[in-house]
Structure 1
């Protein structure tokens, strides 16, 4: 099974990456799309992107241009309390969070999913052009072209969809990605999750006494085995646990994948400019989650593909394929990622 997943993940990741970086001429913004300053004036309501903190809302506007086709605005700050730039490069995981927020916004605002419906994230992927990820003296305004398909409805309400995105900076394609989600009525979610909700109230790990600096951002604890860690995440974290949840959030699992890939690199500073993550089932907060990395060979530019599997109770809960590349010649500057 692992070999099949590895090959499939590599095919998806490299296919998306090559397609995205080589097809800019076919993915240019139209004049109407590029000239939409109203998309960047203020953040969208936080309820649409499932965030409690307004500071964590990256999207700034949206409008529909055709059935199932939308244009969105987003803004990345010059720095972020968690997704911090390294070596003058924006954290690529901002792409994953931007794409996640885009899908959720469109489900609610574009298709009318009630705000009390829980969502289930099945996968998220992105590819970024490193040359267009540099930090500039001002925040980055992004324009997102989004297409929703694989739409499923239940009793007239959206039950699931896939959202594909192309993301532009100053009219040039920075990258793109995709996510798939399901939406369900609260009573259905309670029926599925009910037996485990009481256990979920227990903390994932004991509260840490020293809750400051980069130490609080690390989510992996060594197990003593090579390329093998246990997820240790404090539920007081203001970004990873922005609001109460009854399972390990998908972005915590993505962060664990990123940190695992970073630790494979040792003291070299790398960043994941490509990610393809699948979420197989809920990861419970009160049970241990283990992460194992399978690094591929270094390429001629010092990058590599790292496959990561997260398991709970001996069964996979999430799988990822990351394309990591070096971003600095200075060793030891990767902070929590090493």
Structure 2
């Protein structure tokens, strides 16, 4: 296990105080190096770690809009942190899969403003409720406080399970083969107009036009290079979060909003071979409650807090 990534880097050249690079893509379960946002980690105590990240000024999917960084960059940063700490700090074998249970995010809109340089982000993480079996990580919860160049960015809490290859195959059964699952994916339905969901390209829209019952069909584009960075046997968690964000925007529209708060629960896998249906409603507390159902069962739910996207 590596407890300090920066300390493991080559000697810093004369004239520089630090070297900056991304962490190995294998640690964050990405196949493309350019999609890795994490730049380092350091274990500060038995159950605490610091993780650093850099958000680009431009990105094909998580790009800035209306003068603000995409709030879902923060969720993707957390998603990458889950396997990073599981493998690099807690020693989970590299073929173990981490599966989200829940995710809670609260961001400060002012700290999301895009600047003239990339955003350097630091996560202070406390690991709780660590579960092990025979000494091997089985799951935990991370409590996160985030800053951007010293400014408070937000907080988060997320819990996940960590499954061995054998356990995962038993849990998933016939669905465990990712390439076979993707080959059986339902036909991609038409997309909503991108502007209705805060997007500028149909390729990035994950909702279809509303059906007669007012719900949207989830668009699962297995050829999308960011959402499906590598073969996956189910709809990725980031796709479900993107659906929640787009559903909230369409529900509240037309003025653009930032999804600054997420309270999400992942109840079951969203399979690729059957339609999944997305619904949105305004909750009593003013948030937008988004649900995803498949085969009449609740797969995912998320309460979305929004803020006007006005610079």
TM-score category by the smaller chain? 0.7 to 0.9
1:290-309 mapped onto 2 (5 Å cutoff): 290-296=277-283, 304-309=286-291
Q: Which of these residues, 41, 52, 71, is aligned with residue 62 of structure 1?
A: 41
TM-score by length of 1: 0.80
1:242 aligns with 2:223: no
Structure 2: runs of 5+ lacking an equivalent: 1-16, 192-199
Q: What does residue 137 of structure 1 align with? A: 116
Structure 1: distance between partners of 2:39 and 2:111 = 20
User: Is it true that 1:173 corresponds to 2:152 in the alignment?
Assistant: yes
Q: 1:305 to 1:208 in 2, by over 3 A?
A: closer
Matches within 5 A, 1:201-280: 201-206=182-187, 214-225=201-212, 227-280=214-267
In the alignment, the residues of structure 1 paired with residue 58 and residue 24 of structure 2 have an alpha-carbon distance, to the nearest angstrom, of 22
Alignment partners' CA distance in 2, 1:318 and 1:179: 15
Shift of 1:201: 3.5
Q: For the residues of structure 2 that align with 1:113 and 1:227, how far apart are their CA atoms?
A: 43
Give 1:78's aligned residue: 57
Contact 1:227 1:260 in 2 (8 A): no
Higher helix share: 1
> In the alignment, which residue of structure 1 is the partner of 2:92?
113
Tell me the residue number matched to 2:168.
189
Residue of structure 1 equivalent to 2:269: 282
**Residues 207 and 272 (structure 1 numbering): CA distance in 2 closer, same or farther, change over 3 Å?**
closer
Number of paired residues? Answer: 285
Q: CA deviation at 1:226?
A: 6.4
How far 1:86 moved relative to its partner? Answer: 1.2
Distance 2:49 2:139 in 1: 17
Query: Separation in 1 of the partners of 2:245 and 2:185?
Result: 20
Stretches (4+) displaced over 4 A? 207-210
Distance (whole Å) between structure 2 residues aligned to residue 263 and residue 99 of structure 1: 25
Assess if the C-alpha contact under 8 Å between 1:208 and 1:234 holds in 2.
Answer: no
Whole-Å separation in 1 of the counterparts to 2:31 and 2:184:
20
TM-superposition CA deviations, 1:184-220 (whole Å, max 9, x none) = 110111112122346623343436999xx61010010
Instruction: Tell me, in whole angstroms, the C-alpha distance in 1 between the residues paired with 2:72 and 2:188.
Output: 26
Assess if the C-alpha contact under 8 Å between 2:186 and 2:275 holds in 1. Answer: no
Among 52, 56, 71, the alignment partner of 2:31 is 52
Gap runs ≥5 in structure 1: 1-36, 330-338
CA pair 310-208 structure 1, distance change in 2 beyond 3 A: closer
Distance 1:179 1:227 in 2: 31
8 Å contact from structure 1 (residues 204, 232) kept in 2: no
Tell me, yes or no, if the aligned pair for 1:100 and 1:124 is still in contact at 8 Å.
no
C-alpha spacing 1:274/1:209, structure 2 compared with 1 (3 Å): closer
Matched, 1:321 2:308: no
Residue pair 1:227, 1:294 contacting (<8 A) in 2 also: no
Kept in 1, the 8 Å contact 2:107–2:153? The answer is yes
